[in-house]
Amino acid sequence: MGGVNYVSRRRAALQPEEPDEESWEELVPLPPSCPLAGTAAGSWGGREAPGAMLGKGAGGSGAKPAKPSFVSYVSPEEIHKKEPIEKEVNLHLLPGELLLCEANTVLKCVQEDGSNRGACGKLICTNFKIAFLGDESASDDNEPEFKNKIIGENDITLHCIDHIYGVYDEKKKSLSGQLKKYPEKLIIHCKDLRVFHFCLRYTKEEEVKRIVSGIVHHSQTPKLLKRLFLFSYATAVPTNTDIQNQTVMFDAIKDWRVELERTKGNMKYKVLSANEAYKVSEKLPLYFVVPMSLSEESILQYQGRGIPIWCWSCHNGASLLKMSAFPKEQEDNTLQMHKIFLDGVYKTINKPPYEVLKTDDLSSSLPSLQDIQAAYTRFKQLFLIDNSTDFWDTDVKWFSLLESTNWLEIVRRCLKKAIEVAEYLEGQNTNVLLVEENASDLCCVISSLVQVMMDSHYRTKFGFQSLIQKEWVMGGHCFLDRCNHLRQNDKEEAPVFLLFLDCVWQLVQQYPPAFEFTETYLTVLSDSLYIPIFSTFFFNSQHQKDTNTSGEGHSAQSSHFRFLTVWDWSVQFESKAQVLLNNPLYVEKPKLDKSQRKTTRFKHQRQLSLPLTQTKSSPKRGFFREETDHFIKNILGKRISKLINSSDELHNNFTEFYDSWHCKPVDFHGLLLPHIDGPGIKVWAQRYLRWIPEAQLLGGGTVATATKILDMIEEVQSLQKKMDEKHSLTVPQGRESLPMLRNSARLSSLFPFALLQRHSLKPVLPTSTWKDLEDEDDLAKRDDEFVDLSEVI
Amino acid sequence: MLSGSKNSFKIQQHKPGPALRGPKSSDMNSGRNRNCQAFPCIPGEHVLEAAAHVRKIVRSRDGEGSILGTLYCTNLRVAFVPEPAPGDTVGAPRCSTCLHSEHDVALPCIGRLVAVNSVTKAKVLTASSTLKFIPEELVLYCRDFRVLRFRFRDSGLEPRACQVTLAIVQAQESSSASAGKWYDTGAIRNLENAWLSTEESSSSPPTLLFERPCDWEKELRRLGAAGWRVSPVNERFDMATSLPKYLWVPSRLLDNELKRAFGHFNARRIPRLCWHHPGGSDLLRAAGFHADSDPEKEDVRSVEALMLAGHAQCVIVETAADLPSPAEIQLSYLKLRALCLPDSSVADEKWLSALEGTRWLEHVRACVRKACEVAALLAERSRSIMLQGRVSRSLLWPRHRLDALRLGQVCESDDRDLNCLLASLVQVLWDPHARTQSGFQSLLQKEWVVAGHPFLQRLNLLRDNDREESPVFLLFLDCVWQLLQQFPASFEFTETYLVALHDSSYIPFFSTFLFNCQWERDRRNQHRASNQIYAPVNGWREPPPLEILQKGGRLAKERGGPYLPTIWDWALRYTTQQRAQFRNPAYARGSGSTTVPNGKSAPLGGDKLEAALSGNGTMYLFAKGALSPQTHLFPWKNGSLSKKGWRRAQSSESLSEQDRSLRSSPSGCPLQSEGLLLPASVGPLIRLWRRCYLRGSQEVQRGLFASTLAELAEELDLLRERLGD
């Protein structure tokens, strides 16, 4: 508690300086080294900030003048009049969160039924979010049970805002920069694909000006890293908990050693601590793993470039490596030196005990980041729907529109690349070295996909989280730039992580029993990308995080801030809601010996079938020779025929690997290859369709069966318990039940997300067409109208 | 014709005598003889050719493999009998079903036959083609999307491979001629007996066949439709040959009055009840108005009474308006089949647009959406809703009509295609009973089989008329599948069941899909039994009671219907294990079958009577998602209205808007919508029925999710059992 007191005291002391800092009119960029920057921004609200501010607000004490400089728009009296009464009911601010501006009598339009219904309320903008507070208290009996504790139904974090549009005389215009004219309606497209309509027609003009420019400013203008809400929050929240988390963070040398041991890579690879003070490179994590035979000098020579860095080892010893390529040099001399260096490196790791090395330059074999960004921009447009008419317009040509976005094709190519890599590792016993400029974008996608596919450990929840820590967070994926959290450079933006999640989703939906987590987990994880209270997705590298955490340099008091990680799901969800993130049908890894189990399964299989070598490969080779005959190729399937045309040994290997895997029974704890044919790649419906009322099914969707599954699991468990009691064995721990699935008779297919849209859960039946016709008296009149009209025609 | 007395016949024990074998039976070697005897022919079937030690390539959930067995070509089908491996149960299920297995394909179902030689050649085989090489592999592309591959390579009997291949080709070619007649043989009775023997073991609730009045009575009672009665007016098919024998008509209307209405409708298909909503609304179906019907006649009153059915309001839903024509359905079905066969050369990245190009899903979507609209109309208030195949506007838009005729788009059998689809789909949406297996089968009997959907023409089983082919029924199955995947817990049956039903439609051994209407079905059976032909040319002769005609009168009493088995006798074709997969483990019984709408609660009040008496009802026309009032029943006859009538109220209003209003009206009706399913018909949610259409492809849909649930259920049963011990 002492910490809190300290913070609030400091806040009082700092307040006079604040207004200038928070002003968006005269934004003075502070040098990052400014000692106040981090602490000042962060110390704005202590834990009691909301209560304290509100309480004092009525009294008009020193807290009020501290309002940021938009005070200039409005006389202080006005604020005093309104605030105390309304805010006390609804507004919940997080520690460190500050109310920046607000507007009353804003109408939130609900577009779902074509008739513009709306709820009246207050629109506020804080340094964390935009929130709409309805007048009718939403928190009555209908409180959704799957609720995000941080982000409410009507909350949009500033980082979640994708685009803001203003409607001027029925015309939609994108809002940015300085506004000359203020719109009558505000449309906000969110990155989690929600669409909000705020009608400002009944709002006072000054308030409109204030809120619109406030929202536009705080969400659209470039920001400094230190101004992230992350820091305010971290300062305001007492550094209390040591999070007990089974997720391996890979920020300690021990984590890497354990990982090496787990994958049996420790014979050929070693953990380096050479980068401990970021002496080697700021892009690399503190600890990383390299081939044992690599000398320390060569690592230091080019700041870690040209060095194969270990990702993962396959059970047969083949390893997945990654490498940052050298920047494209003009000078022959440097080029030559690089080449010599690389040759040396390759020579080292091509020798025994290492396996043969295959390098794959991802920047040439996969779409560029620009392509990915462009495809996603087109793709998400299909789901960001301003009104139903738009939706139905696109609906007619749904499939071709979907195809033209090219997003699913990119997903397919990534999965295909991952299968190729898996084939080298598993099928050909070859090391694979992924090369990319910084080894932190597509490298992350492919290497983590390969690991999810090949290592069942990464299909558990904690394993998956550890994987993201290892490959993405420590691997130096530039989350800050790729998500464009700071709005500093639109060109750097690319949804690489989302692409990865989409690829994983394809696997999850094709093999649900193989994953401990559900698609809901992935959806929630993708949303967490925009919640700036977790440090996980708000830094470009470990180095950036470390330097910004501890102010100047790397020092002893590095625990100045304690950031939350996204892996602590209890921050966002109650435990009963967290149940939804776990797959009840996950087939847990059996305790008995793996090899033993395999043989029994295959034995049974053999009785039905011929050995694969005979039935499969021999006739196929025969077919391949005859390339001219279109028909024969087709008999073996379209995919093969397509690949024959390239007549590439590589592709033959790939196809054979892919086909023969799909011919075998699926082992949920072994290698998992996704279907990548045309019909196999699907749209991640839960993430992309969840806010669209038209796509909602009352009493339908997978939720409908989920209840049944949970019931059955419960019964199985209780029976098992009974049996165990009979045999006096230990009682297995029961799963937590899901009361919310039981309570309501009919859930929507969009559950858990649809619960946030309560209106759509009412039974839907037509009235509008009929209303006019109900009146019998009206009929005669109508009939006359028809006469006129038809005669005109 | 057959050895073995009729009553003692058991299919499993059947050993066809040498006379039954094909001409080549004499030069069969001993090994083949044994195999032939092992093959359980159905009556009237004989083996033309056989080849032992053939490998059938199978892809199952457990991966690809092959099964060793014997390939038979008979005069009816191509069959494969796996060799029972010691200690293996693969061969066992085959014994318990006689008519169909996953290894069999009926000759009419073969779409294309390809012989492959591994080194050089692949050839599409037709009757005229000669085989110049020894085939190593035979690929059968079936019309039901299956692809069967048989490999001769390891058999060591190359000449056999040639012979069996050619035999299949010949048999297939001649099947179109012979298959149409095969059911005339007396052998069918034995099939019947086989059916009886299997029927005893089945314990599922009975499917109402709607061939006897008691079925109609029973169903009417279940619906609780108080103002309705079963009319035997068409018992001898003398009112309309394509209509069922019994009709549900308003109680107040006497048969005499009823008879006057027939002439006013195309094909004399008058409005009759399909389903009664517990809230009071009635769903009716009828053909379009006959062009020559004269509104000045007094008959119009009975037509009106039929349509209003005692309600104050009648909405005429124009089925053909928003739905594809049978010709369009056929066109997209062909495209879809081409796309889904493994040799389609569509690149993966172009798959989606190719799928869109087939327009199949567009048609599915249109049907689902239209059904939603009608379902919503039913609930809105107490009224009668009449599905009218094609509202005859011949005099309104003669040019249209001519164009349509020229293009061959006009199907003269309106009310026999899309009305079947729509009527049954609406009932699936509303009635939980229709989502149980027996309820669904009864529904199909009522709305398709006895209602006169021309299955024979539409499925083109005999391959005699390609022009009329149109898989309207398969489109319906696809729609039901869409509902099933959107509401996985609301159906008692599974996707497997629907696939089985889909496959069954190409097996010509069953009365269900072999005839164009009930009259044909009955006539065929009578003809076979008594060698008497009833031609409804100039009036009707008195048909002798079936009971007398049939020696085994017991049969007829029990079934009251045709001799040929119906496809609902699943035990004939599917083993117990297979049939177990028809049951949906996720089915939430609570929301389902037991809650039968109670007729007593229906608000059938005095206003209904009044309206019926006065006959002053209001008519609306519902088409293109919009509604327009209509003051005259036959507007084109009324001079003053002919020009202006039938204008659509909001024709500019798009379908989508209508649908939107359907889906999300805020002031929900005070109806209990417990049983109602409101499916989404938006693009992303209408999906391809992969398990059915992509069966031939390399990537088989495995349905892992469903099967894990099934496994869970299995585990549960096992545990219960063990605890019970």
Structural Rg of chain B based on CA atoms: 27
**A386 CB burial (10 A radius; 0-12, 13-18, 19+):** middle
Query: Of the segments A125-129, A622-626, B580-584, which one has the largest average pLDDT value?
Result: A125-129
CA A261 to chain centre: 30
Residue B694 in contact with partner chain A when CB distance is under 8 A: yes
Question: What does the alpha-carbon distance between residue A237 and residue A563 come to, in Å, rounded to a whole number?
Answer: 9
- Taking 60 as the threshold, does the pLDDT of residue A785 lie above it? no
Inform me whether the pLDDT recorded for A675 exceeds 50: yes
Token pair for residue B268?
């004399």
For the cut 50, the answer to whether the pLDDT of residue B533 exceeds it is: no
Query: Measured between CB atoms, does B684 come within 8 Å of chain A?
Result: yes
What per-residue confidence (pLDDT) applies to B178? 53
Residues of chain B with Cβ-Cβ distance to A715 below 8 Å are 716
The number of beta carbons lying within 10 Å of the beta carbon of residue A745 is 11
Cα angle value B454/B457/B462 (rounded, 5°): 130
Is the pLDDT assigned to residue B435 strictly greater than 80?
Answer: yes
Residues in B closer than 8 angstroms to A707, CB to CB, are 489, 588
CA nearest A471: which of A256, A623, A673? Answer: A256
Q: Do residues B78 and A600 touch, judged by C-beta distance below 8 A?
A: no
Position B595 confidence tier, pLDDT thresholds 50, 70, 90: very low
Place of tokens 């000098």: A297
Indicate yes or no: CB of B684 within 8 angstroms of CB of A762. Answer: no
Are B708 and A719 within 8 A, CB to CB? no
Q: pLDDT at residue A507 above 90?
A: yes
pLDDT band at A244 (very low <50, low <70, confident <90, very high): low
Mutation site for A-interface testing, chosen from B584, B660, B681 by largest number of A Cβ within 10 Å: B660
Is B659 in contact with A392 (Cβ distance < 8 A)?
yes
**CA torsion through residues B218, B219, B220, B225, sign:** positive
Quick one: pLDDT band at residue B191, thresholds 50, 70, 90? low
Mean pLDDT across A694-716: 76
Question: Residue range B698-705: average pLDDT?
Answer: 40
SS (H, E, C) A385-425: CCCHHHHHHHHCCHHHHHHHHCHHHHHHHHHHHHHHHHHHH
What pLDDT, on the 0 to 100 scale, is given for residue A515?
93
Which of chain A's residues have a Cβ under 8 Å away from the Cβ of B708?
A: 512-513, 585, 587
The residue of chain A nearest to residue B622, with distances taken between CA atoms, is: A769
Q: pTM for the complete prediction?
A: 0.78
Residue A506 pLDDT: 95
In this structure, which amino acid lies at residue A58? A
Q: Residue B443's pLDDT is what? A: 94
Nearest CA in chain A to B697: A637
B174 vs A90, residue with greater confidence: B174
Res. B6: pLDDT tops 50: no
Residue B85 reports pLDDT greater than 60: no
Contact call for residues B571 and B198 (beta carbons, < 8 A): yes
Residues of chain A with C-beta less than 8 angstroms from the C-beta of B667: 767
For B300-356, write each residue's pLDDT tens digit: 778 888 888 888 888 888 887 788 888 899 999 999 988 887 766 778 888 899 999
Name the helix (H) or strand (E) containing B639.
helix B639-642
Rounded to an integer, the average pLDDT of B514-537 is: 61
Has residue A336 got a pLDDT over 50?
Answer: yes
Question: Which of these, A243, A153, A148, A142, lies nearest to A581 by C-alpha position?
Answer: A148
pLDDT at A497: 95
CA distance A487 to chain B (A): 32
Query: Which chain A residues are Cβ-neighbours of B139 within 8 angstroms?
Result: 635
Scanning B381-435, the segments in alpha helix (DSSP H) are 398-406, 418-430
Give per-residue pLDDT as tens, A38-81: 333 333 333 333 333 333 333 333 333 333 333 333 333 443 44
The pLDDT confidence band at residue A311, using thresholds 50, 70 and 90, is very high
**Residues contacting residue A777 through CB under 8 Å, at least 6 positions apart:** none
Residue of B nearest to A663 (CA): B63
Tell me the per-residue pLDDT of A488-502, one tens digit each, with 9 for 90 and over. Answer: 888 889 999 999 999
Q: Are A540 and A157 in contact (CB under 8 A)?
A: no
Placement of tokens 């209990």 in the chain = B672
Residue B66 sits at the chain A interface (C-beta within 8 Å): yes
Give the range among A32-36, B36-40, B299-303 with minimum mean pLDDT. Answer: A32-36
Mean predicted confidence (pLDDT) in A363-388: 89
Measured CA to CA, the distance from residue A577 to residue A358 in angstroms comes to: 45
Distance of alpha carbon A339 from alpha carbon A325, whole angstroms: 11
The dihedrals phi and psi of A188, each to the nearest 5 degrees, come to -115, 120
> pLDDT-derived band of residue B714, with 50, 70 and 90 as boundaries?
confident
The amino acid occupying position A292 is M
What is the spatial distance between Cα A785 and Cα B2, in angstroms, rounded to a whole number? 74
Residue ranges of alpha helices (H) inside B134-206 are 158-182, 188-199
String of DSSP letters for B458-496: HHTTT-S-GGG---HHHHHHHHHHHHHHHSTTS-SB-HH
| Dihedral sign (CA B15, B19, B25, B29) | positive
pLDDT of residue A108: 87
Question: Measured between alpha carbons, how far is B650 from B663 in angstroms, rounded to an integer?
Answer: 19
Q: Which two tokens stand for residue B265?
A: 């409708």
A610 against B139, higher pLDDT:
B139
Q: Is the pLDDT of residue A571 over 60?
A: yes
B504 burial class (0-12, 13-18, 19+ CB within 10 angstroms)?
A: buried
Q: Is the pLDDT of residue A193 over 80?
A: yes
| φ and ψ at residue B327, rounded to 5 degrees | -65, -40
Above 60 in pLDDT, residue B604? Answer: no
Placement of tokens 């394909």 in the chain: B105
Across the interface, do A765 and B671 touch by the CB < 8 Å criterion? yes
- Per-residue pLDDT tens digits for A627-638: 333 443 444 443
- For residue A314, the cross-strand partners are none
Which of A407-411, A717-721, B556-560 tops mean pLDDT? Answer: A407-411
Between residues 605 and 644 of chain B, which touch chain A (CB distance below 8 Å)? 618, 620, 626-629, 631, 643-644
- Give the span between the Cα atoms of A418 and B375, in whole angstroms: 47
Contact B48, B40 (CB under 8 A): no
Q: pLDDT at position A348, please?
A: 79
Q: What is the mean pLDDT of chain A?
A: 73
- d(Cα B494, Cα B706) in Å, to the nearest integer? 9
Under an 8 A CB cutoff, do A638 and B669 touch? no
Cβ-based burial of A592 (10 A; exposed 0-12, middle 13-18, buried ≥19): exposed
* CB–CB contact B698 A631 (8 Å): no
In angstroms, the separation between the Cα of residue B139 and the nearest Cα of chain A is: 8
Q: How far is A594 from chain B (nearest CA, A)?
A: 18
Interface residue B713 vs chain A (CB under 8 A): yes
**Residue of chain A minimizing CA distance to B719:** A719
Q: Residue B427's pLDDT is what? A: 93
Contact B662 A764 (CB under 8 A): yes
The mean-pLDDT minimum among A291-295, A697-701, B200-204, B538-542 falls in B538-542
pLDDT for position B632: 60
The model's pLDDT over A129-164, given as tens digits with 9 standing for 90+, comes to: 999 988 765 444 455 667 788 888 889 999 999 999
